[in-house]
């Protein structure tokens, strides 16, 4: 053997020895962190917070191999929610997590139970917690990386692999299958899914033979599949005389029995093996040559806990094909409840923890010490840690350069138009524009591109695909309104009909600045009722501060011709309640134009800003934006867009008609019901004095500002006033408010609580009635008559003459 070979071999051995020590340390720290949170923290209130020691331990070896050897700084990882303590322990060893945060695990401002991009300090790539979402997002993030590079951006950075550490039960989530199908259509690559095949979920041991279903599934969609079943010890034993028999036994061992034996340990293994195959020749020697402890070690040596096997397999990948690794593991490996089917929320008792402490050579008082109890020298370990490729990742997250947004967007306003059609015109104008802004826009839609009015934009900017594809209808000269041409420069990503995929893709696009250092301005369109289909993915996108604009159209019962099944009632309430999402429902195109320009700037903001004095909103912090639009063409006002009006539209409301000093009633409306509200005010004028008309463009922002200003006053800032408080201060105390929108009435009902006015709230509470717009408005009581009737009820006085009998 020549000298350099000897040296290389020695370094390999050294690396393995180091990794083995680190694996132990990671398991110790993660277990101790959870134990500390449950048993030792001073302020624990008697409620066990769990922490999933078993679920974490399952991934300790795989994550050791990845983070200390395989990963490169540009790789991005979605960590299975319950492996959070392992992730934090690894980051702690890298010096990127603090002992204080670990000590406060699951506590106030402590390390998070599930890895969080926004709440954790140790550079989490994807927030996980709702199982299945982080997994799918890695697939879409690899697509986004391709999109960015195909557009010529970020080519000076190395390409990363998008990796998901997947719990085997996560694969029960339907969104994973939707993503795999979409990934196949889009030609996904640079994506690894590493399945922690511990054959346990939360409740139980999973079905036999699932791995074979997974294998077939992934292969069917063009993935490479690598099955890591047996570790190096077992493989060596299989090579011994009689080894084939042992292998046959273990290959046929049911999951339940295997788990039970793992839990019971060496003596149980011996008894069972001797009972089953002890009389079958040479295999007996394999069993008898080992002590109970050695036998247990052998029989639990699955590849997912075997560093040499993992390093070999991960290190051998030399292509960018999507790859699924099915890694056999044991839930709770290395801990006393390993394999027990009830171990999901199991916690080690103080006695068990003491046993682990002594096995790990950790002295009391040195539990958080990075190098305590390790067999190698601290200096050597530290030197190794300093050389780990992954630590080359910068401490600062990339942010992507800000893309300039003009104060005003170009659009010509016809006398009558719907907000949905207006949105199409705005994007069509942007598509014509030779600007950085237009180039950074990327649109996406789950098979409703044309019906949500993105057609003209797509005609101009094309669809994205890594390989160009012509529109055959065009080349065959068949007349069509829409060109459907794919190219690497295209700016629309067409998805199949899966709203989950839409939101997860928006989440990936909306984090491009942080993942690729290149900012994209994503706009996704869908039908408003189907927000509910992807709501959890939307919530997670917002939770991890992805930035995008969601345009939901059509909405409400105003989509009457589409039929009852597509109505949306609750979405305005989602707009109010969803954290990280500013919701608007403009009535007119000039309002929409103002809101869209604002939104394109707002989604790029990320300052640690306080509240603005004007509206008591944290506009400097930014967020995503939801626009609830309508297909109903309505007559447009002719007016100058003054800066005062623009500001009020963004803040959430303005007086379309100011109430006079003697007003008895005002009407507050949102969105497509503007014509009914205006008509009602006109018809009441003879019988009620000074009726005011409040146009509400964003119930969400009005409400948020009001809540924030109230809190500020509670804390002593006596002059804090929100936008809605200032507007309603003009309304005399005895005056009533009628609110109306095409959505749930509770959306605006709170307006009465601002200054204590009486309120009658009109809206839609029931679902599914078909009919024309007048039929439905009458049926649900949101037409002009209903508004007038409500005004009469809340502001009694002489009968309003135009009030017809309500049908």
Window contacting ligand TPP (CB under 6 A); options: 195-203, 250-258, 469-477, 617-625: 195-203
Q: What tokens were used for 405?
A: 């947004």
Q: Which is nearer to ligand TPP, 534 or 572 (CB)?
A: 534
Nearer Cβ to Mg ion (169/791) = 169
Which position among 33, 113, 200, 507 is part of the footprint of ligand TPP (CB under 6 A)? Answer: 200
Max intra-chain CA distance, the chain: 108
Question: Given CA atoms 370, 373, 377, 380 in this order, what sign does their dihedral have?
Answer: negative
User: Among ligand TPP, Mg ion, none, what does residue 575 contact (CB within 5–8 Å per kind)?
Assistant: none
What does 136 interact with, of Mg ion, ligand TPP, none (CB < 5 to 8 A by kind)?
none
Helix axes 174-186, 210-220, angle to 10 degrees: 30
CB 59 to Mg ion: min, Å: 10
Distance CA 510, CA 520 (A): 7
Site for ligand TPP in 316-355 (CB under 6 A): 331, 344
Closer of 139 and 169 to ligand TPP (Cβ): 169
Binding segment (CB under 6 A) for ligand TPP, from list 192-200, 359-367, 434-442, 793-801: 192-200
CB of 128 to ligand TPP, least distance (A): 9
Cβ proximity to ligand TPP, 55 vs 761, nearer residue: 55
- Please state, in angstroms and rounded to a whole number, the distance separating the CA atoms of residues 169 and 35: 25
Of the listed pieces 127-135, 247-255, 487-495, 770-778, which binds ligand TPP according to CB under 6 A? 127-135
Number of residues that bind ligand TPP (CB under 6 A): 18
Identify which of 454, 477, 645, 629 has the alpha carbon closest to the alpha carbon of residue 555. Answer: 629
**DSSP single-letter state for residue 802:** T
CB of 83 to ligand TPP, least distance (A): 7
Phi, psi of 39 (to 5 degrees): -115, -25
Residues 6+ positions from 243 with CB-CB distance below 8 Å: 237, 283, 286
**What is the token pair recorded at 518?**
């290149």
**Cβ burial 112-141 (10 Å sphere, 16+ → b, else e):** bbbbbbebbebbbbbbbbbbbbbbbbbbbb
Which of 168, 439, 545, 651 is in the footprint of ligand TPP by CB under 6 A? 168
Q: How far is CA 578 from the centre of its chain?
A: 13
DSSP 228: E
- Token pair of 273 as six digits: 């093996």
Q: What are phi and psi of 692, to 5 degrees?
A: -100, 155
CB of 774 to Mg ion, least distance (A): 56
Contact call for residue 255 and Mg ion (CB under 5 A) = no
Stretch that binds ligand TPP, among 161-169, 255-263, 523-531, 668-676 (CB under 6 A): 161-169
CA 70 remoteness from chain centre: 26
Span near ligand TPP by CB under 6 A; candidates 35-43, 155-163, 165-173, 412-420: 165-173
Gap between the Cα atoms of 300 and 259, Å rounded? 10
Q: Report the C-alpha gap between 118 and 545 in whole angstroms.
A: 7
- Tell me which residues in 147-176 interact with Mg ion (CB under 5 A): 167-169
Over the window 187 to 226, marking each residue x when it contacts Mg ion by CB under 5 A and - when it does not, the resulting string is -----------x-x--------------------------
Least distance from ligand TPP to the Cβ atom of residue 197, Å: 9
CA pair distance 13, 18, nearest whole angstrom: 9
Closer to ligand TPP by Cβ: residue 81 or 115 = 81
130 binds ligand TPP (CB under 6 A): yes
Q: Is 460 exposed, middle or buried (0-12, 13-18, 19+ CB in 10 A)?
A: middle
Give whichever of 27 and 458 is closer to ligand TPP, judged by the CB atom: 27
Least distance (Å) from ligand TPP to the CB of residue 526? Answer: 21
Helix (H, G, I), strand (E, B) or coil at 712: helix
Taking the least distance from each CB to Mg ion, the nearer of 326 and 587 is 326
**Residues 519, 606 contacting (CB under 8 angstroms):** no
Helix or strand or coil: residue 473?
A: helix
* Chain residue at closest Cβ approach to ligand TPP: 167
- Residue 328 CB, shortest distance to ligand TPP, in Å, is 12
196 versus 545: smaller Cβ distance to ligand TPP = 196
Could you say which of 23, 170, 499, 687 contacts ligand TPP (CB under 6 A)?
Answer: 170
Q: By CB under 6 A, which span of 139-147, 163-171, 495-503, 744-752 interacts with ligand TPP?
A: 163-171
The nearer residue to ligand TPP, 130 or 284, going by C-beta atoms, is: 130
Q: How far are the Cα atoms of 31, 86, 114, 401, 542 from residue 38, in angstroms, in the given order?
A: 11, 17, 16, 44, 30
Q: Is residue 539 near ligand TPP by the rule CB under 6 A?
A: no
Judged by beta carbon, residue 198 or residue 443, the one nearer Mg ion is 198
The first and second tokens of residue 155, run together, are: 């080519």
130 binds, among ligand TPP, Mg ion, none (CB under 5 to 8 A by kind): ligand TPP
Radius of gyration of the chain (CA): 31
Phi and psi at 655, nearest 5°, equal -80, 115
Instruction: Give min distance, CB of 606 to ligand TPP, in A.
Output: 28
Residue list 53-112, contact with ligand TPP (CB under 6 A): 55, 58, 81-82
| Of 339 and 575, CB closest to Mg ion | 339
Q: Say if residues 584 and 626 touch (Cβ distance below 8 Å).
A: yes
Q: By the criterion CB under 6 A, which residues form the site for ligand TPP?
A: 55, 58, 81-82, 129-131, 167-170, 196, 198, 200-202, 331, 344
Q: By the criterion CB under 5 A, which residues form the site for Mg ion?
A: 167-169, 198, 200
């Amino acid at each position: 053997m020549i000298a350099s070979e000897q040296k290389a071999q020695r370094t390999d051995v050294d690396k393995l020895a180091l990794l083995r020590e680190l694996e132990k340390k990671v398991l110790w720290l993660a277990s101790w962190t959870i134990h500390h949170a449950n048993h030792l923290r001073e302020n624990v209130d008697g409620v066990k917070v769990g922490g999933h020691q078993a679920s974490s331990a399952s991934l300790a070896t795989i994550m050791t191999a990845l983070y200390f050897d395989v990963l490169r700084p540009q790789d991005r990882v979605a960590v299975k929610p319950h492996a959070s303590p392992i992730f934090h322990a690894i980051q702690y060893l890298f010096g990127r997590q603090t002992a204080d945060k670990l000590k406060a695990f699951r506590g106030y401002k402590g390390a998070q139970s599930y890895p969080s991009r926004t709440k954790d300090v140790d550079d989490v790539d994807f927030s996980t917690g709702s199982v299945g979402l982080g997994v799918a997002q890695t697939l879409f993030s690899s697509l986004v990386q391709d999109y960015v590079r195909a557009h010529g951006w970020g080519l000076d950075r190395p390409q990363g692999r998008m990796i998901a550490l997947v719990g085997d039960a996560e694969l029960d989530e339907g969104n994973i299958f939707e993503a795999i199908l979409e990934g196949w259509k889009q030609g996904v690559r640079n994506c690894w899914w590493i399945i922690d095949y511990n054959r346990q979920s939360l409740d139980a041991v999973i079905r036999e033979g699932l791995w074979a279903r997974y294998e077939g599934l992934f292969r069917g969609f063009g993935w490479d599949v690598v099955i890591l079943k047996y570790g190096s010890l077992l493989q060596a034993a299989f090579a011994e005389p009689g080894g084939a028999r042992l292998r046959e036994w273990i290959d046929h061992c049911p999951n339940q029995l295997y788990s039970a034996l793992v839990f019971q340990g060496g003596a149980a293994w011996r008894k069972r093996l001797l009972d089953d195959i002890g009389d079958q020749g040479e295999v007996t020697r394999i069993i008898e040559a080992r002590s109970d402890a050695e036998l247990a070690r052998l029989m639990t040596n699955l590849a997912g806990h075997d560093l040499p096997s993992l390093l070999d397999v991960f290190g051998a990948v030399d292509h960018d094909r999507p790859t699924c690794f099915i890694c056999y593991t044991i839930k709770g490996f290395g801990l006393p409840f390993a394999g027990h089917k009830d171990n999901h929320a199991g916690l080690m008792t103080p006695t068990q923890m003491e046993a682990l402490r002594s096995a790990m050579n950790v002295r009391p008082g040195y539990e958080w010490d990075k190098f305590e109890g390790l067999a190698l020298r601290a200096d050597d370990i530290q030197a190794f840690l300093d050389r780990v490729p992954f630590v080359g990742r910068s401490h600062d997250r990339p942010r992507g350069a800000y893309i300039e947004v003009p104060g005003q967007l170009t659009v010509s306003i016809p006398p009558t138009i719907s907000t949905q059609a207006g949105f199409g015109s705005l994007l069509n104008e942007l598509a014509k524009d030779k600007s950085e802004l237009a180039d950074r826009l990327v649109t996406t839609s789950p098979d409703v591109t044309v019906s949500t009015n993105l057609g003209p934009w797509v005609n101009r900017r094309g669809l994205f695909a890594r390989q160009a594809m012509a529109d055959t209808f065009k080349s065959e000269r068949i007349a069509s309104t829409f060109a459907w041409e794919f190219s690497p420069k295209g700016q629309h990503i067409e998805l199949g009909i899966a709203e989950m995929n839409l939101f997860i893709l928006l989440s990936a696009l909306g984090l491009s600045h942080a993942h690729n250092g290149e900012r994209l301005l994503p706009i996704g369109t869908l039908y408003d009722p189907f927000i509910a289909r992807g709501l959890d993915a939307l919530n997670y996108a917002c939770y991890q501060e992805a930035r995008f604009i969601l345009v939901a159209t059509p909405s409400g019962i105003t989509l009457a011709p589409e039929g009852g099944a597509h109505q949306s009632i609750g979405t305005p309430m989602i707009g109010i309640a969803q954290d990280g999402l500013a919701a608007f429902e403009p009535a007119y195109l000039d309002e929409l134009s103002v809101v869209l320009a604002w939104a394109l700037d707002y989604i790029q903001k990320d300052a640690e800003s306080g509240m603005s004095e004007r509206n008591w909103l944290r506009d400097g912090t930014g967020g995503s934006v939801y626009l609830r639009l309508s297909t109903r063409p309505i007559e447009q006002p002719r007016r100058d867009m003054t800066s005062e009006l623009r500001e009020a539209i963004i803040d959430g409301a303005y007086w379309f008609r100011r109430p006079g000093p003697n007003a008895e009633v005002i009407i507050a409306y949102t969105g497509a019901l503007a014509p009914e509200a205006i008509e009602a005010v006109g018809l009441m004028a003879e019988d009620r004095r000074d009726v005011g008309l409040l146009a509400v463009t964003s119930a969400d922002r009005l409400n948020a500002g009001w809540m924030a200003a109230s809190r500020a006053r509670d804390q002593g800032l006596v002059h804090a006033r929100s936008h809605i408080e200032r507007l309603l201060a003009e309304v005399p105390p005895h005056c009533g408010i009628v609110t109306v929108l095409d959505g749930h009435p509770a959306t605006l009902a709170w307006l009465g609580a601002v200054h204590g006015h009486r309120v009658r709230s009109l809206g839609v509470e029931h679902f599914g009635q078909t009919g024309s717009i007048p039929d439905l408005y009458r049926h649900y009581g949101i037409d002009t008559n209903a508004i007038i009737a409500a005004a009469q009820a809340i502001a009694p006085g002489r009968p309003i003459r135009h009030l017809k009998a309500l049908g």
